[in-house]
Structure 1
Amino acid sequence: MHTDWREVRIQNPRGQLLAALCLHSGPDSRGWVVVCHGFTGSKEGGGRAKAMAERLAGETGFSFVLFDFAGNGESQGRFEDLTLSGQIQDLSAVVDWCGQQSPGPVVTMGRSFGGSTVLAHGAADPRVQAVCTWAAPVRLADLFSEAIIAETGDGRIQLADADGTVDLNKDFLRDLESYDLLKAAAVLAPRPLLIIHGENDDVVPASDARRLYSTASDPKELHIIPGGDHQFTTTSEQVWKIVGRWLNALHGEKCTQGET
C-alpha cells in the first residue's frame, strides 16, 4: 500500500496557494488522477479520500492528487468568494502542476459539486483523458437556489448546509447560470465518462445522473449504487471497485459501455 504522501502548494491564476497532497506511483506511473472534493468539503474527505487513493494507486498504478479548492480546507482564499468558474481555474492549475511533474494522461474525478466542476472543466480542457463523477448535480442553479434561506443585504446569500448555514456572494448564483453541464457532458466524447450515483441520495436526485448518461456519448458508464446515499457512507468499497476497474480499463484503452 502506498503511504508516502507529499504536501505541495499549487498557485491558481488568482495568485492563491492551493493546499494539495500528492501520492506518486513512481517512474512507472500510468498517469494522474486529480480528485475534487464536494461543496464545503476538503481534500482528505474525512480520511476516506486518502484511503481510496492509496488503494487505487496500488491497484491501478496511477498517481493521485487531492487538493482543497480556494477558500476551503487549508487553501488560501475566502469561502464566500467561491464560484464554479473559480473552481475550474483551481482544477486547471492542478492539471498544469501534474504536467510539470511527469508526463502522462490526466483523469479528473469529483464528488458532488466537485463532480460538476470536473464536467465543466473537462469539456473545455483537452488535456483531460477521462472524467468520473460521484453524486454530481447538473441542475446547479435550481439546486442552490432552493437552498437559499436568506439574503443578507450586503450582496451575500445564506444557504442551508448539512452542517448549518454558509454565506456566499450573490455572484455565485450568477456564475452558475453561465454553465450547462448537460452540454459539457455531450462534448466529452470520445473521452470516457464514468457516472456514479447513490440510489438513496437525498441531496442530489439520481435522475441527475441518468440525465447526464442519456446526454453523453460513448464511451460512458452509469452506476446507480443500491442503498447509496450522497456520501456513499456504507457503499464506498463498492464505488472504489468500480473506479479501479474503470481506471485499469482506461490503461488498456478500453471502456465498458453500459448502465448498472
Structure 2
Amino acid sequence: MIMTDNNNWKKVAFRNSRGLTLAGLLYGTPEETGDIVIHCHGFTGSKEGGGRALELGAELGRRGWSTLVFDFAGNGESEGDFANITLSGQIDDLTCAVDWVLKQGYKRVVTVGRSFGGSTVICQGTRDPRVAGVCTWAAPARLLDLFASFTDEPIDGPEEMVAMAGEGGIIYLKKAFFQDLKLYDVPGDAARLAPRPLLIIHGTRDGVVPPEDARLIFEAAGEPRELVWIEEGDHQFAKHYDQVWETLFDWLDRHFKRSAS
C-alpha cells in the first residue's frame, strides 16, 4: 500500500512475520535509484525521529539514495503492543522491511540504526546477507546491562511485567524482553558482518550508552570497519547531528558507488 503525501514522502505499510502491519515512509523510487537506506529508530522512538529522520532522508535523496523509515511493532503508527517488544521482534521487523524494499525493485540495501535500533541493525545484518552495509549511531553493545539499569525491579522475578524509566515517564515491558536479550551478542554479531562495511558513530559525551560500547563493537568487528567519535556529542547528537550526517554521507560515497538506475 502506497499513498503520496505533500512532502515527497510516501506512506507505506507492510507486514512482519507475526502478522502485524508496520507503518513506514518512503522517499524516492527504485526507478530513480537502485540504492536505499533503511533507517531504524531507537528505543521508544518513531520513524520520523522528531523530524530529523525525514530531513536526513530528503538529503539522502538529493545524493542519489532512497530512504525507508518505519515504526517497529508496538511503536508509533505500527500495530502491536509496546510491552511485547523484543530484539528478536525488531530483527524480524527489519528483515521484513528488507523483503519489502527488494520486492519494490531496489537492488542494494544499507541499514542505519540509532541506539537500540543500532544494535538491531548489527544483529539483523549479520543474519541477512542481502544487507550491503551497516551504520550505527550510539548503539549499545552490552544490552542486558544497559536495560537492567533502567529499572529497580528484579528482571528475573515472578512478576510478568517490569516498570522502566523512559524518556516520557514510566514504561512497562514484559520480562521476556530481558530473556530475549540474552540470546544476542552485539560485538560477536558485528564480527560476522565482515567483509561488509560497518560504520560506528558515537558521541564522547553520551550519557545513556557508554562510549566504551562503541569501542567494544569496533574491536570485535572485522574490516572494513570505522569508528568515528563525535566530540562533545550526547546520546541524541542534539548539537552535532550535522557532523553525524556528513560522516554517513562520506562513508556511503566511499563504500557504495552509485549503482545504475
- The Cα of 1:150 is off from its aligned counterpart by 3.3
2:52 maps to what in 1?
Answer: 48
Secondary structure of the 1:19 match is strand
- The Cα of 1:155 is off from its aligned counterpart by 0.3
- The Cα of 1:249 is off from its aligned counterpart by 1.6
1:26 and 1:105 map into 2 onto residues whose CA distance is 10
1:192 maps to what in 2?
Answer: 197
Farther off after superposition, 102-111 or 190-199: 102-111
- The Cα of 1:153 is off from its aligned counterpart by 6.0
Gapped regions of structure 2 (runs ≥ 5):
1-5
Query: Which of residues 201, 207, 226 is equivalent to 1:221?
Result: 226
2:107 maps to what in 1?
Answer: 104
Runs of 4+ in 1 over 4 A off after TM superposition: 151-154
2:110 and 2:202 map into 1 onto residues whose CA distance is 18
2:3 maps to what in 1?
Answer: none
- The Cα of 1:245 is off from its aligned counterpart by 1.2
Query: Which of residues 204, 209, 213 is equivalent to 1:204?
Result: 209
Provide, for residues 159-187 of structure 1, a one-character-per-residue CA deviation record: whole Å limited to 9, x for no partner.
11122111000000000000001110001
Q: Which amino acid is the alignment partner of residue 189 of structure 1?
A: A
Question: Does the 8 Å CA contact 2:207/2:234 hold for their aligned counterparts?
Answer: yes
Secondary structure of the 1:64 match is strand
2:76 and 2:223 map into 1 onto residues whose CA distance is 36
Secondary structure of the 1:194 match is strand
Secondary structure of the 1:46 match is helix
1:24 maps to what in 2?
Answer: 28
Question: Does the 8 Å CA contact 1:192/1:220 hold for their aligned counterparts?
Answer: yes
Question: Does the 8 Å CA contact 1:131/1:193 hold for their aligned counterparts?
Answer: yes
Farther off after superposition, 157-166 or 111-120: 157-166
2:236 maps to what in 1?
Answer: 231
1:131 corresponds to 2:118: no
1:164 corresponds to 2:169: yes
Instruction: Give the RMSD, CA atoms, in angstroms.
Output: 1.5
Question: Does the 8 Å CA contact 1:56/1:240 hold for their aligned counterparts?
Answer: no
Q: Which amino acid is the alignment partner of residue 31 of structure 1?
A: D
Query: Which of residues 56, 79, 83 is equivalent to 1:80?
Result: 83
TM-score (ref. length: structure 1): 0.93
- The Cα of 1:46 is off from its aligned counterpart by 0.4
Secondary structure of the 2:248 match is helix
Q: Which amino acid is the alignment partner of residue 40 of structure 2?
A: C
Question: Does the 8 Å CA contact 1:31/1:106 hold for their aligned counterparts?
Answer: yes
Q: Which amino acid is the alignment partner of residue 91 of structure 1?
A: L
Cα distance change of structure 1 residues 103 and 26 upon mapping to structure 2, 3 Å threshold: closer
Query: Which of residues 167, 182, 194 is equivalent to 1:177?
Result: 182
Question: Does the 8 Å CA contact 2:30/2:105 hold for their aligned counterparts?
Answer: no
1:246 corresponds to 2:255: no
Secondary structure of the 2:152 match is strand
- The Cα of 1:24 is off from its aligned counterpart by 1.2
- The Cα of 1:32 is off from its aligned counterpart by 1.2
- The Cα of 1:25 is off from its aligned counterpart by 4.7
1:26 and 1:237 map into 2 onto residues whose CA distance is 27
1:223 and 1:212 map into 2 onto residues whose CA distance is 12
Provide, for residues 37-69 of structure 1, a one-character-per-residue CA deviation record: whole Å limited to 9, x for no partner.
00000000000000011112212x111000000
1:34 and 1:203 map into 2 onto residues whose CA distance is 24
Q: Which amino acid is the alignment partner of residue 217 of structure 1?
A: G
Provide, for residues 84-143 of structure 1, a one-character-per-residue CA deviation record: whole Å limited to 9, x for no partner.
000000000100000000131100100000000000000100000000000000100111
The size of the alignment, in residue pairs, is: 251
Question: Does the 8 Å CA contact 1:3/1:54 hold for their aligned counterparts?
Answer: no
Question: Does the 8 Å CA contact 2:12/2:25 hold for their aligned counterparts?
Answer: yes
1:67 and 1:237 map into 2 onto residues whose CA distance is 22
Q: Which amino acid is the alignment partner of residue 12 of structure 1?
A: N
Gapped regions of structure 1 (runs ≥ 5):
254-260
Secondary structure of the 1:48 match is helix
